[in-house]
Structure 1
């Protein structure tokens, strides 16, 4: 049993352990610096993180909150950061309920709009909340009418001004519309960060993806085939379109195949055998990218540089 424990550990840890990719470290540092500036200047501000699903926005937000709270933990009156996930079935009062829930209010959140706003203000003051990050905030933009979106933006801008809070809004590209809903909001925006899916469109982007896979292999101690080799990098990109969650799932499935074969080392056959075509492929015949010749795969993906 001991010979498969390293592979089993990788399977368990891969979905939950954060590994830096792209500009993640710089993005975290920049947002934390912006939040600190807000606290020092006592001038509320915000940032926006825009990107498609699978670009690492949620990981970025969670790490920002975690490190913010660690930074001020030893303070006499600690500043607090809070993560708020926007509701999918958005109604005008749902965002207020989500904020109160994230602030720690127990049970089913009840009350009128004025009552909930008052409780939010009290929580911000009592708990010294100085950072609020909103994930999936495009839900607010997409599900509410223009008038309601403007009202939400006006209210959140008031919180910035009244309590010197730093806010981060993250979501799909439509999340940037929050800045258009209130011109004063736009003037308080320190930065807009655009997150992209991993890619092999250029030698530089290929190197970033290969480096990320190498880091995953090192951190999780995955023995066997070199994950930075083109025969692995290109099929993974083809299979996942650079979606970070998809990359993780692909590695987990390959590790599971190796474990079930009672091996503690990953081989390319593990990727070939565990690959499943995406549901979007429909009835169209899709060739397993891990079985294709590298030259054919390069041509299909438009990779016209030397690897």
Structure 2
């Protein structure tokens, strides 16, 4: 028979559960103004202010591996510049759209129309959708278009399909006269640079590099770890800014913010399951084995004393190459 909990014990359990829930929510919703992020936000701000008066709009390519934080960053910028509702129209300063896999020009135009709130997004043929889109871009005073997951333009279809999509972007730029950002994984670079129709329009590139504990980049990495430590306020957490732990976190996450969030959220869940607030090395080791690399041997777990300190980029490992092109 289990022992009866005293009221004070019940209160402590409820307090612990509430704290763990709060910490998990903080981590999932976190957005850090780290050096790389600040650079991109400044550039997006410049593009938003750009007055395109008869000349070609300025454009940007934003690259980063899956989980680097591109989508979070773009959505953050969009949310900082929300639609403005006037009496007779809605102004949309920043138009965001996530490009689907196997995208066509018609699907691209329809997606942008849907993002603008058009009830006729799927009406008409490709040319009709483009004309409707160009009309709404002007009517809604769109000043910046953010196209996310643009690696889908490069990862699917043959060269003819890629040429067609490049042609669609060119026409949208030429007639829409609106600055545009293409964001995606590194495979997007090939699509842009090998298409003469858009390569000269998207000459500027910013890459979100994965975190690293290499000497030249260690300071920025530790700043990120310090940011996550603040999110763990209230927990009895191991110091993520210690060089040994920070290095393990980089190995475990591939230097990607999404991986760090996943590790820490699961670590909080593990601690809560043990009726504890402690996140130590053993908890991180368990979290890694559960949500990053299930079935990993100790020598491939960065939080194990037996870890061999080789990047997790081998065949079948979390950050190794998948079959086919990156998506």
| Offset, 1:204 | 3.2
1:114-133 deviations in Å (ceiling 9; x for gaps): 11112111211221112111
Q: What is the aligned partner in structure 2 of residue 272 from structure 1? A: 285
1:260-294 deviations in Å (ceiling 9; x for gaps): 2222343333213333167778786755332316x
Distance 1:38 1:59, change over 3 A: farther
Q: 2:72 & 2:130 partners in 1: Cα distance?
A: 28
Q: 1:239 & 1:255 partners in 2: Cα distance?
A: 16
Structure ranking higher on relative contact order (CA contacts 8 Å, 6+ apart): 1
Confirm or deny that 1:188 pairs with 2:201.
Answer: yes
Of 203, 210, 213, the residue aligned with 2:215 is 203
1:246-269 deviations in Å (ceiling 9; x for gaps): 111100111111122222343333
1:159-197 deviations in Å (ceiling 9; x for gaps): 323332010001111212443465353333362111222
| Offset, 1:18 | 1.3
Distance 1:131 1:220, change over 3 A: farther
Q: Which runs of 5+ in 1 are unaligned?
A: 302-307
Q: What is the aligned partner in structure 2 of residue 113 from structure 1? A: 126
**Contact map agreement 1:44 1:160 (CA 8 A) in 2:** yes
The alignment yields a C-alpha RMSD, in angstroms, of: 3.1
Confirm or deny that 1:244 pairs with 2:257.
Answer: yes
Distance 1:269 1:181, change over 3 A: closer
Q: Which moved more, 1:282-291 or 1:248-257?
A: 282-291
**Contact map agreement 1:4 1:263 (CA 8 A) in 2:** no
Q: What is the aligned partner in structure 2 of residue 146 from structure 1? A: 159
Confirm or deny that 1:6 pairs with 2:19.
Answer: yes
**Contact map agreement 2:23 2:232 (CA 8 A) in 1:** yes
Give the number of equivalent residue pairs. 295
- SS where residue 303 of structure 2 aligns? helix
Distance 1:227 1:100, change over 3 A: same
Q: Which moved more, 1:60-69 or 1:167-176?
A: 60-69
Q: What is the aligned partner in structure 1 of residue 315 from structure 2? A: none
| Offset, 1:41 | 7.4
Confirm or deny that 1:159 pairs with 2:158.
Answer: no
Q: 1:69 & 1:31 partners in 2: Cα distance?
A: 15
Q: Which runs of 5+ in 2 are unaligned?
A: 1-13, 312-327
**Contact map agreement 1:47 1:189 (CA 8 A) in 2:** yes
Q: 2:35 & 2:151 partners in 1: Cα distance?
A: 23
Q: What is the aligned partner in structure 2 of residue 212 from structure 1? A: 224
Distance 1:63 1:191, change over 3 A: farther
Q: Counterparts of 1:1-307 in structure 2 under 5 Å?
A: 1-39=14-52, 43-69=56-82, 78=91, 80-106=93-119, 109-180=122-193, 182-183=195-196, 185-189=198-202, 191-200=204-213, 202-224=214-236, 225-276=238-289, 286-292=299-305, 300=310
Distance 1:280 1:79, change over 3 A: closer
TM-score by length of 2: 0.78
Q: 2:209 & 2:56 partners in 1: Cα distance?
A: 30
Q: 1:119 & 1:217 partners in 2: Cα distance?
A: 48
